[in-house]
Amino acid sequence: MNNRDLGRRIRKLRNKLHIVSRILDHMKEGIVLLNREGRIISVNRAFLKITGLTHDQLYGRKLQNLDIKWEGFSSFEELLQEVNKKEVWEGEIWGVHRDGFIFTGEVSLIKGDKDLFIAIFLDTSDRRSLEDSLRSLSHFDPITGLPNRALLYDHLSYLLFRAKGKKGNVGVIFFDIDNFKLINDTLGHEIGDKLLKSFAQRLISCFPSGTLISRFGGDEFVVVLPLLEKAEDIERLVSGFIKEASNPFYIDFKKIYITVTAGISLYPVDGKDPQTLLRNADIAMHHAKEYRRSGYRFFTDELNIKISERFSLESELRDALEREEFTLYYQPIFDLNTDHVVGAEALIRWLHPDRGIILPGKFIEVAEETDLITSLGEWVLRKVCKDGKYFLDKGIPLKIAVNISANQLTDIYFTEKLRKIVEETSFDPRYLEIEITESALMKNKQEAARILSELKAMGITVAIDDFGTSYSSLNYLKYFPVDKLKIDRSFIGDIMSDPNDIAIATTIIAIAHNLGLKSTAEGVESEEQLVFLKLWQCDEAQGFYFSPPIPLSQLLEMIQKENLKIRDV
Ligand code: C2E
Ligand code: CA
Ligand code: CA
């Protein structure tokens, strides 16, 4: 073939291609050509319209990296494998348009020749163009600017679609402003509208980003929390918002107080589609209005029971604190070189009039979440100092370790309070040790570092509790004036058999020694464990092998009867 012939052929081919691409561009269906790896090599205009993306944003990209979900497949790669086998796949998809809309489509994915796939997208998103809906703003509420009910349905469907087959809950929360009609009637609609607007803003500021917040109608708002691991997280956010909403709104120089009621339904337990979930959240909201206890209810009773138990525990704890139903037990800690007692850890017990002794595992968390821990923690510190003084007065120089919660470390008056308690009880602070977990330290590094150095200046020592269970980023140890690492008892239990635990425990001992700190093993229950720990030169230990936590009087008796030697500070 001579050059002229070749030129003619190329021109012909180009013309043909030009015609083909013109046809493609005028088709309503979005067309995408993919290479073997699923990379986009060509798209038509309709596809740009469906996704809101430009040529540049698409060429060379893998189709699987676009925010599109393929019905029945968790990944696009799986789908490609299927098409490789069966030549063609037809199904539904969901995607997010660049403007945040959800688009839906029917797709045929076809295997071309061996190196090519063709995807044909039929846009089924409500059969109206995105521009149209944008222009008419039919998806947004004009007063609050939030997505309206229609967009809520779309988005919720999409979020449920995305959550399919994954662990976790999608939370649907129905909020209703109590007596909003009264506000409208007495203050006028203009103020009512402004209140709705501020209310919407408060919703936005209280829920994490990624939350879908919409105005359902009137004074009703729906919030959707995508994939949460625990139902408790939803409860925390909802109760937090209800509290926040009770702060006054300032509108046109008027101070307006409102209350809100919420109903919560969870995907998948309370429903699998938007209609059911919204209806059940609405029912739960109406129940909450009747009960008027906490301002919110879950649709499922199990969760309501759990929450009402928490409520009664919280109020019982308050009463218990007033009635002094708490006491401290002490667990002695031993020096592994000399077998002397080096101190004792104070562990709180609730002496419940009906239920007997309740362990801290049952109530500390609730105390921490409700901030009761501040007063409870102060009570513990005061009691520890009194008890410590009691031992000192008996000629027993026992050092006492006390557990401190993260919340207490965020109290800017913590050191001051502690100093006052020490003074009032005439306790020598050198006999006091504070136990803090790694996570508590990391929560508020700067404040914690300041408090620790103030404690240090008072002569108080500091131990890191449950070491190895959370951060174990050794870096931070340099920044905190720490004296001791306590190896969590979960590593001690199987220390004789589990190679991981052996490695962790021995590493912690080595780290402590390299940093000039002491190491204490918790939860030692057998002689074998003790021998092992001695072999690895662990400094101190506590556990049922020596003694369980016991009341003060028993500890005193034990020390005197067994003539235990006490290591003075
Ligand atoms: P923790 O600080 O790790 O306390 C050690 C826990 O291990 C205690 O549980 C103790 O009874 C238990 N234990 C001791 N030796 C053994 C053993 O050989 N085997 C086993 N299986 N367990 C052993 P307890 O008293 O139920 O306390 C649980 C947690 O509650 C404590 O863990 C601490 O985090 C918290 N806590 C206790 N008292 C207070 C307090 O006054 N204030 C604060 N904020 N937290 C406290
Ligand atoms: Ca402890
Ligand atoms: Ca511990």
User: What's the predicted TM-score (pTM) here?
Assistant: 0.61
Split at pLDDT 50, 70, 90, the class of 245 is very high
For ligand 1, the distance from its centroid to the CA atom of residue 493, given in whole angstroms, is 15
Whole-number mean pLDDT of the chain?
88
Q: Where residue 233 falls among pLDDT bands split at 50, 70, 90?
A: confident
Looking at ligand 1, which residue's alpha carbon is closest to its atom 37?
A: 347
Whole-number Å distance, alpha carbon 435 to ligand 2 midpoint, is 6
- On the question of pLDDT at 294 being above 70, the answer is no
- Token pair for 420: 């006052």
Residue nearest (by alpha carbon) to ligand 1 atom 34: 403
- CATH code at 215? 3.30.70.270
Residue nearest atom 10 in ligand 1 by C-alpha distance: 549
Ligand nearest to the CA of 440: 1
Q: With pLDDT > 70 as the criterion, what percentage of the chain qualifies? A: 95
pLDDT in tens, 182-197: 898 899 999 999 999 9
**Ligand 1 atom index nearest CA of 329:** 25
pLDDT score for 138: 65
Higher-pLDDT residue of 253 and 397 is: 397
Residue 428 lies in a domain: yes
Which domain range does residue 545 map to?
317-561
Say if residue 531's pLDDT is above 80.
Answer: yes
Q: Which contiguous run of DSSP H or E holds residue 130?
A: helix 130-136
C-alpha–C-alpha distance, residues 160 and 265, integer Å:
13
Mutate to test the pocket of ligand 1, among 522, 524, 525 (most ligand atoms within 8 A of CB): 522
Q: Whose CA is nearest to atom 21 of ligand 1?
A: 523
Do 507 and 408 have their domain in common? yes
Tell me the pLDDT tens digit for each residue of 419-439. 999 999 999 999 999 999 988
Most confident of 23-27, 165-169, 267-271, 442-446: 267-271
Among 71, 96, 129, give the residue marking a domain's end: 129
- Residue 568 covered by a domain: no
Looking at the DSSP bridge assignments, the partners of residue 328 are: 348
pLDDT digits (tens, 9 = 90+) for 134-145: 444 567 888 998
pLDDT digits (tens, 9 = 90+) for 484-524: 999 999 999 988 888 888 888 998 999 899 889 999 999 99
Whether 312 is in a domain gets the answer no
Q: How far is the CA of 403 from the centre of ligand 2 (A)?
A: 5
Give domain status of residue 248, yes or no: yes
287 and 423 in a common domain: no
- Cβ atoms of residues 156 and 277 within 8 Å: yes
The residue whose C-alpha atom lies closest to atom 22 belonging to ligand 1 is 523
Q: pLDDT tens for residues 536-567? A: 999 999 999 999 999 999 999 999 999 999 99
Same domain, 290 and 159: yes
Mean pLDDT across the stretch 351-376?
A: 92
Q: Measured in angstroms, how far is the CA atom of residue 400 from the centroid of ligand 2?
A: 11
Task: Give pLDDT, residue 86.
Answer: 87
Question: Are residues 384 and 496 both part of a single domain?
Answer: yes
List C-alpha distances in Å: 204 to 131, 227, 241: 26, 18, 10
Among 396, 454, 466, 461, which Cα is nearest to 432's? 461
102 and 190 in a common domain: no
Q: Are residues 124 and 165 in the same domain?
A: no
pLDDT at 95: 80
pLDDT at 133 over 60: no
Measured from CB, residues less than 6 Å from any atom of ligand 1 are 331, 347-348, 359-361, 364, 377, 380, 403-405, 465-466, 489, 522-525, 542-544, 549
Closest CA to 350 of 324, 332, 385: 324
- The ligand minimizing its distance to the Cα of 364 is 1
Q: Exposed, middle or buried: residue 54 (CB in 10 Å: 0-12, 13-18, 19+)?
A: exposed
* CATH number of residue 457's parent domain: 3.20.20.450
- The token pair that represents 325 in the structure block: 């139903």
Last residue of a domain, one of 249, 267, 299: 299
Distance between Cα 428 and ligand 1 center (Å): 24
Is 310 inside any structural domain?
A: no
Query: Would 307 be classed as within a structural domain?
Result: no
Domain boundary among 269, 299, 329: 299
